[in-house]
């Protein structure tokens, strides 16, 4: 459980003898991490204790390309001319296996890829692979608090903090760094974006010596450390009478803070900022805009190569939902699009994948790619806040791939989100993908062992978005459990169907929410923290859904480029799965499937529950193939899921039967 996908199960290999001597050609901190990982892996997989050298005659040689000399021919060296410093080459030639690249980080990624190949039973003497990440920034955001809690954490408490202090024993942080590096993650922020109390002082010498220790651990695995900050820190920490980003004293205060941080952490990544959202302080207090606020921080960080990651999750959380001019879905675009070109080059806007909040189904945010002169990264959520909270199984890779493959048409056909966030459409200096982490201090890290697949898959997808959901699932299963064909097939089927199953028994046709306020788990059809002005779904006796059209609704559809704008705006062309996000329709409106909306609601919720029953049956066939500890953990989580699915089925169907007065055409009983 603890080792996640770095189990390094024993393998049969005719190349076993190659691993007895490994040459690592430098002694950097990352090289030390490579050596440590190889020692663990080789001993577990081959029952061989490797010897290490710096000899170019070893069977396996690992070194930066300039260190390998004539071992790398001119043609291979030429391949490195136009690729990133994180790219690696694995090549077998002249009875030697070479792992090389232009940096130590490249070697680290190459070694982890090599070990993955071995775990899958591939012949390493057939390898001739040059691989590079598509996204330059591949980041995780921890929402951990100093008291040890984790906001939206479903896997126990923080591995970083406990009882108001940074943990003394950081061995688990080191293991976490190993897991992240193995799938190519290269950046992390280690505290909650909602910086409320004592965490404000993380940017002072009160905590920086210990945070330096954490940064040192991550650096050895190629991961750059960031900190989330409180925009009002000048007031909270030193009693300034303002945090106005244009005030000279405030500007100097931040410059002093950055200088102190970089004294402890010379390669400090920068700040993650949530401002002017959900009661967090920001530049709006001083009649300034987001460019003013972020640029002030960017100026302080620029001399040290630091960046500002400014979250675009900004909306009026106490808005009157009856007022069509305050549609939350519009908020990010309305706030940020007019500021394009006003942000400094080391500011990056972090935009949630959808316009709302990590729902099981929502359209792609129209802000992604809409700003041609401003760095952007997309934000996913590995933590399943609205998708089962790691009690219910919901493999999210298919959802993220659907988002990345979405065609925005911003520069004509083929302008996908995947290429936008990779920096291939606009001349972004910085771009990539970030996500909210799903780990905690549970023995298996993620509460539900199967939720490990989302963390693994996130890393693999950010490195190579062209990998299929099935390929990623199979990789994870084989490294985590076994390569047994039956296990791979059954678990793969469970994972790949789980997003659709979860959607079936929860919120239908893109309407979203309907969850218990604050906890966000379990059904509450009219529940939403800020819904005092009315329900989110706008259901009445005649129909359901939110009118976001240009003619009669909030006008949200106008934020998309054509033809997406017309597709969503037109009732006839709007995809069924997003119908209620964009339109308010009668219950008897006929979907493209031929069913009415109300019958679709009834059918999918009965089906979703039945599908969870099938998940339980599938898992029970695995009892003799999975160790008792992990088998029991997953069986217990599925028991929670079946209760949750039943509750969703009964509450949703009963609610809408009573609201509409339209019976189920199949005559099933509502509770």
Average pLDDT for 577-603: 98
Flag whether pLDDT at 120 surpasses 50. Answer: yes
Average pLDDT for 15-29: 93
Annotated catalytic residue: which of 327, 385, 442, 503?
385
Residue 161's DSSP bridge partners are 166
Q: Phi/psi at 307 (nearest 5 deg)?
A: -125, 155
Average pLDDT for 42-67: 94
Residue 278 catalytic? yes
Q: How many CA atoms lie within 13 A of 389 on its CB side?
A: 18
DSSP designation for 136: S
Residue pair 405/364 in contact by the 8 Å Cβ criterion:
no
- Ordered by where they begin, the domains of the chain are 16-131 (3.30.379.10), 137-481 (3.20.20.80), 483-546+584-670 (3.90.1330.10)
The SS3 call for residue 62 is strand
Average pLDDT for 88-98: 94
Q: Would the CA dihedral through 572, 575, 580, 581 be positive or negative?
A: negative
pLDDT of residue 315: 75
The SS3 call for residue 649 is helix
Average pLDDT for 604-628: 98
Give the pLDDT band of residue 322 (cuts 50, 70, 90): low
pLDDT of residue 280: 82
Output the six-digit token pair for 478. Answer: 């084989």
Flag whether pLDDT at 464 surpasses 60. Answer: yes
One DSSP character per residue, 46-59 reads HS---EEE--TTSS
Flag whether pLDDT at 97 surpasses 50. Answer: yes
Give the pLDDT band of residue 71 (cuts 50, 70, 90): confident
Flag whether pLDDT at 440 surpasses 90. Answer: yes
Output the six-digit token pair for 142. Answer: 């921890």
Q: How far is the C-alpha of 350 from the C-alpha of 375, rounded, in Å?
A: 9
Question: What percent of the chain has pLDDT above 90?
Answer: 89
Flag whether pLDDT at 321 surpasses 60. Answer: no
Helices (H) and strands (E) in the chain, counts: 19, 18
Residue pair 181/138 in contact by the 8 Å Cβ criterion:
no
How many C-beta atoms surround the C-beta of residue 2 within 10 A?
11
Give the pLDDT band of residue 67 (cuts 50, 70, 90): confident
Question: What percent of the chain has pLDDT above 70?
Answer: 97
Q: How far is the C-alpha of 102 from the C-alpha of 322, rounded, in Å?
A: 57
The SS3 call for residue 431 is strand
Q: What is the dihedral of CA 32, 38, 40, 41, to 10 degrees?
A: 160
pLDDT of residue 395: 98
The SS3 call for residue 175 is helix
How many C-beta atoms surround the C-beta of residue 621 within 10 A?
11
Mean of per-residue pLDDT scores for the chain: 95
User: For 208-267, how does the pLDDT look when each residue is reduced to its tens digit (9 = 90+)?
Assistant: 999 999 999 999 999 999 999 999 999 999 999 999 999 999 999 999 999 999 999 999
Residue 267 catalytic? no
Distance of alpha carbon 419 from the chain centroid: 17
The residue with tokens 């070479």 is: 98
The SS3 call for residue 434 is strand
Average pLDDT for 271-285: 90
Cis-peptide into 563, omega within 30 deg: yes
Q: How many CA atoms lie within 13 A of 126 on its CB side?
A: 6
pLDDT of residue 657: 96
Q: Which residues, in sequence order, are CB contacts of 67 under 8 Å at separation 6+?
A: 25, 26
Average pLDDT for 280-306: 96
Residue pair 597/584 in contact by the 8 Å Cβ criterion:
no
Q: Phi/psi at 65 (nearest 5 deg)?
A: -55, -35
Average pLDDT for 555-566: 98
Give, in degrees to the nearest 5, the angle at Cα 374 between 369 and 377: 60
Residue 82 catalytic? no
Average pLDDT for 469-495: 98
pLDDT of residue 353: 98
Residue 114, H or E segment: helix 104-119
Least confident of 97-111, 202-216, 322-336: 322-336
Q: Which residues, in sequence order, are CB contacts of 228 under 8 Å at separation 6+?
A: 141, 189, 191, 192, 193, 195, 199, 271, 272, 273, 274
Output the six-digit token pair for 589. Answer: 């409106």
Q: Phi/psi at 356 (nearest 5 deg)?
A: -105, -95
Flag whether pLDDT at 533 surpasses 50. Answer: no
How many C-beta atoms surround the C-beta of residue 624 within 10 A?
6
Give the pLDDT band of residue 279 (cuts 50, 70, 90): confident
Q: How far is the C-alpha of 195 from the C-alpha of 186, rounded, in Å?
A: 23
Q: Which residues, in sequence order, are CB contacts of 30 under 8 Å at separation 6+?
A: 104, 105, 107, 108, 219, 220, 221, 222
Q: How far is the C-alpha of 15 from the C-alpha of 125, rounded, in Å?
A: 8
Annotated catalytic residue: which of 21, 117, 260, 278?
278
Residue 416's DSSP bridge partners are 407
Flag whether pLDDT at 326 surpasses 80. Answer: no
Annotated catalytic residue: which of 151, 247, 357, 493?
357
pLDDT of residue 318: 53
One DSSP character per residue, 571-638 reads TTTS-GGGHHHH--EETTPBPTTS-BHHHHHHHHHHHHHHHHHHHHHHHHTTTTTS-HHHHHHHHHHH
Strand-pair category, 543-544 with 585-586 = antiparallel
pLDDT of residue 319: 55
């Amino acid at each position: 459980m603890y080792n996640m996908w770095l189990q390094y199960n024993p393998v049969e290999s005719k190349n076993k003898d190659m691993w007895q001597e490994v040459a690592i050609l430098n002694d950097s901190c990352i090289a030390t991490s490579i050596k440590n990982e190889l020692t663990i892996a080789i001993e577990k997989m081959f029952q061989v204790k490797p010897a290490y050298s710096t000899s170019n005659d070893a069977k396996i040689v690992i070194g930066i390309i300039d260190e390998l000399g004539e071992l790398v021919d001119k043609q291979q060296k030429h391949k490195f001319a136009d690729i990133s410093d994180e790219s690696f080459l694995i090549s077998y030639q002249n009875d030697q296996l070479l792992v090389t690249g232009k940096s130590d980080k490249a070697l680290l990624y190459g070694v982890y890829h090599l070990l993955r190949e071995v775990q899958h039973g591939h012949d390493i003497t057939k390898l001739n692979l040059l691989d590079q990440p598509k996204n330059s920034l591949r980041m995780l955001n921890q929402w951990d608090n100093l008291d040890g809690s984790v906001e939206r954490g479903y896997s126990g408490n923080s591995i970083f903090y406990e009882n108001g202090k940074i943990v003394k024993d950081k061995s688990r942080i080191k293991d976490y760094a190993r897991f992240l590096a193995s799938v190519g993650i290269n950046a992390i922020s280690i505290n909650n974006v909602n910086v409320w109390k004592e965490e404000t002082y993380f940017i002072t010498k009160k905590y920086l010596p210990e945070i330096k220790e954490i940064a040192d651990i991550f650096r050895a695995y190629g991961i750059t450390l960031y900190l989330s900050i409180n925009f009002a820190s000048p007031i909270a920490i030193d009693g300034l009478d303002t945090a106005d980003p244009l005030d000279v004293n405030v500007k100097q205060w931040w410059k002093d803070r950055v200088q102190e941080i970089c004294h402890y952490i010379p390669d400090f990544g920068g700040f993650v900022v949530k401002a002017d959202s959900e009661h967090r302080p920001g530049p709006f207090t001083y009649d300034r805009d987001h460019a003013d606020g972020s640029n002030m921080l960017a100026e302080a960080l620029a001399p040290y190569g630091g960046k500002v990651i400014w979250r675009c999750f900004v909306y009026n959380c106490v808005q009157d939902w009856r007022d069509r001019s305050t549609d939350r879905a519009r908020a990010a675009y309305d706030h940020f699009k007019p500021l394009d070109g006003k942000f400094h080059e080391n500011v990056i806007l972090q935009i949630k994948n959808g316009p709302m909040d990590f729902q099981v189904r929502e359209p792609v945010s129209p802000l992604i790619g809409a700003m041609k002169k401003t760095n952007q990264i997309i934000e996913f959520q590995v933590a399943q806040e609205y998708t089962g909270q790691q009690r219910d199984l919901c493999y999210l890779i298919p959802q993220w791939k659907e988002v990345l493959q979405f065609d925005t048409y911003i520069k004509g056909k083929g302008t996908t989100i995947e290429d936008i966030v990779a920096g291939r459409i606009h001349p972004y200096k910085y771009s990539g993908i970030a996500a909210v982490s799903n780990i905690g201090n549970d023995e298996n890290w993620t509460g539900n062992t199967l939720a490990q697949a989302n963390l693994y898959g996130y890393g693999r997808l950010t490195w190579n978005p062209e990998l299929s959901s099935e390929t990623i699932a199979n990789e994870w299963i084989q490294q985590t459990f076994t390569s047994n064909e039956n296990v791979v097939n059954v678990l793969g089927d469970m994972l790949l169907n789980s997003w659709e199953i979860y959607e079936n028994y929860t919120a239908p046709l893109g309407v979203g929410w309907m969850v218990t306020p604050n906890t966000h788990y379990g059904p509450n059809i009219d529940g939403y923290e800020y819904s005092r002005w009315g329900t989110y779904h706008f259901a009445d006796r005649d129909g359901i859904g939110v009118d976001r059209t240009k003619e009669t609704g909030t006008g949200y559809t106008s934020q998309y480029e054509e033809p997406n704008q017309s597709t969503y705006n037109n009732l006839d062309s709007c995809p069924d799965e997003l119908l209620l996000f964009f339109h308010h329709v009668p219950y008897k409106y006929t979907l493209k499937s031929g069913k009415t909306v109300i019958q679709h609601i009834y059918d999918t919720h009965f089906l979703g529950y039945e599908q969870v029953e099938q998940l339980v049956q599938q898992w029970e066939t695995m009892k003799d193939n999975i160790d008792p500890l992990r088998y029991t953990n997953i069986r217990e989580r599925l028991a929670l899921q079946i209760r949750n699915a039943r509750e969703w089925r009964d509450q949703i169907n009963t609610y809408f039967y009573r609201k509409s007065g339209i019976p189920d055409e199949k005559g099933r009983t509502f509770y």
